[in-house]
């Protein structure tokens, strides 16, 4: 089976019996540039961030800003927030030529989403989920196009099993289970619940929650028998995690710089990812505290100078010490990378240098 751009179909990938490694949907983060990065490091499938289907259908502006892809960005699953079958189906039909499947968010616990009828409140509406899945399956023309759901679990697991079986009867292609209830945040993942779900349905199941290292992929598979795993925060802090790196390798940081420059990634997105990748060294203090003028904690590891528009990554001494100097091809253990930021919101790279 081949999709229109020559990639194997997603269901074919499941049939090969390998435990698939998937980049989670992440609002503001799992955009094209980051997807390009994790694909370089053994990620099998990527999700877009959640997109509100109704906005996507209504507004060209929303479509342009929320969904960007290219021919190398496959296999790709587009995740939508929706609460009615026709809106989800209309959105799926728009993205179907550029993606391999559509996913319904049934796990977002945020108050705004729940009160709008999106996200985790859908796990309490199995008939509606069934209706939405069936609609998309019936109306998207490509038979290889997948329709999946991403859920959280109930306290009473029988309700989750019932939801999954109903979705399966409606033709759901696969199900991702974040092994926490909608109320849980940092509690331990309920792998036993994921296993129960896997044992109760025939379609592929993906386990999500706390995958931080490659070894977690295998241990989760052993514990639950799932067909794949999905990671969010583990990939933010180490986009090379699926390739077996314990910490973000320097090569991956430079790959990010190169991809961001090539794709014209906006400053905040570029910078937030960089800070995530360096979090172990610089602490989480700086991520939410971006100082566009180069003041504040940001100057520990980066400077933003609007005039001339120059961004400098100045890896602080602790970071530089972590990377052997010979790996850097440098004599000093301090790195500087500078970019001009031109009128078109695009970076122009300056040569890497050592001060
Ligand atoms: C920054 C961020 C954005 C997220 N956005 C989404 C989203 O758009 N859709 C979704 O289903 N889950 C979203 N999530 C939840 C993750 O997909 C995942 O279910 C959760 O973080 C647990 O996985 P982890 O332990 O690997 O982080 C987001 C998580 C993070 C950290």
- Average pLDDT of the segment spanning 201-217: 98
pLDDT at 266: 76
The reply to whether ligand 1 has any atom less than 6 angstroms from the CB of 123 is no
Q: What is the layout of strands, in order, in the sheet containing 347-349?
A: 302-306, 309-315, 335-341, 347-349
Helix (H, G, I), strand (E, B) or coil at 5: coil
pLDDT at 26: 98
Q: How far is the CA of 24 from the centre of ligand 1 (A)?
A: 6
Q: Domains of the chain by range and CATH?
A: 10-243 (3.20.20.70), 250-349 (no CATH)
- Average pLDDT of the segment spanning 233-250: 93
Give the number of the atom of ligand 1 that is nearest the alpha carbon of residue 231.
Answer: 26
The reply to whether ligand 1 has any atom less than 6 angstroms from the CB of 211 is yes
Catalytic residue among 43, 46, 106, 108: 108
Q: 192 is written with which tokens? A: 């036993």
Q: What angle do CA 263, 269, 273 make, to 5 degrees?
A: 100
The pTM assigned to this predicted structure is 0.85
Q: What is the pLDDT of residues 139-174, one digit of tens each?
A: 999 999 999 999 999 999 999 999 999 999 999 999
Q: How far is the CA of 225 from the centre of ligand 1 (A)?
A: 22
Q: Is the pLDDT of residue 353 over 70?
A: no
Q: What is the pLDDT of residues 108-133, one digit of tens each?
A: 999 999 999 999 999 999 999 999 99
In the block, residue with structure tokens 């507004």: 59
- Please give the Cα distance from 214 to 39 (Å, whole number): 15
Residue with the nearest Cα to atom 3 of ligand 1? 26
Q: Is the pLDDT of residue 201 over 60?
A: yes
The reply to whether ligand 1 has any atom less than 6 angstroms from the CB of 208 is yes
pLDDT at 330: 36
Residue with the nearest Cα to atom 18 of ligand 1? 232
Strand pairing category for 309-315 and 335-341: antiparallel
Residue with the nearest Cα to atom 21 of ligand 1? 232
Residue with the nearest Cα to atom 23 of ligand 1? 209
Q: What angle do CA 54, 7, 222 make, to 5 degrees?
A: 85
DSSP β-bridge partners for residue 313: 302, 337
Q: How far is the CA of 179 from the centre of ligand 1 (A)?
A: 12
pLDDT at 322: 43
pLDDT averaged over the chain? Answer: 82
The reply to whether ligand 1 has any atom less than 6 angstroms from the CB of 24 is yes
Active site residue 108: yes
């Amino acid at each position: 089976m081949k999709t229109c751009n020559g990639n194997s179909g997603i269901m074919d990938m499941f049939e090969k019996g390998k435990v698939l490694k998937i980049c989670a949907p992440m609002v503001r983060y799992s955009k094209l540039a980051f997807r390009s990065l994790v694909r370089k490091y053994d990620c099998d499938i990527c999700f877009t961030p959640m997109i509100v289907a109704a906005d996507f259908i209504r507004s060209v502006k929303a479509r342009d800003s929320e969904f960007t892809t290219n021919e190398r960005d496959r296999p790709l699953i587009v995740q939508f927030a929706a609460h009615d079958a026709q809106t989800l189906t209309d959105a799926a039909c728009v993205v179907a030529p550029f993606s391999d499947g559509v996913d319904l968010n049934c796990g977002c616990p945020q108050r705004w989403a729940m009160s709008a009828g999106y996200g985790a409140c859908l796990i309490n509406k199995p008939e509606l989920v069934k209706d939405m899945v069936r609609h998309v399956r019936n109306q998207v023309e490509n038979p290889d196009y997948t329709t999946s759901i991403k859920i959280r679990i109930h306290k009473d697991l029988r309700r989750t099993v019932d939801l999954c079986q109903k979705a399966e009867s409606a033709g759901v292609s696969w199900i991702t289970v974040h092994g926490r209830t909608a109320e849980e945040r940092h509690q331990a993942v309920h792998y036993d619940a994921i296993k129960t779900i896997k044992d109760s349905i025939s379609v592929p199941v993906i386990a999500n929650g706390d995958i931080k290292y490659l070894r977690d992929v295998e241990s989760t598979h052993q514990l639950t028998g799932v067909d794949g795993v999905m990671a969010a925060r583990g990939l933010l802090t180490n986009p090379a995690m699926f390739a077996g790196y314990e910490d973000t390798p320097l090569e991956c940081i430079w790959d990010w710089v190169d991809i961001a420059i090539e794709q014209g990634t906006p400053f905040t997105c570029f910078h937030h990812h960089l800070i995530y990748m360096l979090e172990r060294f610089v602490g989480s203090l700086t991520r939410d505290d971006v100082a566009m003028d180069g003041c504040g904690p940001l100057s520990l590891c980066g400077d933003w100078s609007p005039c001339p528009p120059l961004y400098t990554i100045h890896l602080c001494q602790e970071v530089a010490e972590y990377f052997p100097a010979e790996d850097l091809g440098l004599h000093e253990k301090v790195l500087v990378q500078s970019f001009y930021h031109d009128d078109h919101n695009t970076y122009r790279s300056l040569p890497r240098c050592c001060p």
